[in-house]
Amino acid sequence: MKSNKAQGMTLIELLVVLAILAMIAGLVGPTILEKLDGAKHKTAGIQIKDLESGLEIYKLEVGRFPSTEEGLQALMNKPGDAKGWNGPYLKGKDVPQDPWSRDFIYKYPGANGGMEIISYGADGQPGGEGDNADISN
């Protein structure tokens, strides 16, 4: 004779499955987060290279890099005395922010005498190591 009981998982079986899933997430989760932060650093480096390219074209057309005061906005909006400006020099509607949603720091002349573009990393503070390390050209 057949039983009319519904076949399903018991509470113990469900708890065992949840415990296994929690252990897997505990092992894999930190690795995924570490890769995500590494990807943000690489993205910031690529963004800095794109900004450098825009600045080089700006210099070819205007004859100089934008000053620190004019900043990276000079790539999107013509500064008052920029003869030969034929921008915008970047795609999009505005200068991009770094992967941590902060503005890049632009200096001209920078510490090396040329243009300098900096992202302060995850912590937004100068210096740091790992995810908090500065990224610059």
Q: Which H helix or E strand runs over 117?
A: strand 116-119
For the segment 29-83, what is each residue's pLDDT rounded down to a tens digit?
777 766 666 788 889 999 999 999 999 999 999 999 999 999 999 999 998 888 8
Query: Dihedral sign, CA of 107, 110, 111, 116?
Result: positive
Other CB atoms within 10 Å distance of the CB of residue 97: 13
Q: Quick one: pLDDT band at residue 2, thresholds 50, 70, 90?
A: low
Pairwise CA distance, residues 32 & 13, whole Å: 28
The pair of structure tokens assigned to 8 is 């399903």
Reference 117, options 101, 100, 97; nearest CA is: 97
CATH number of the structural domain 39-136: 3.30.700.10
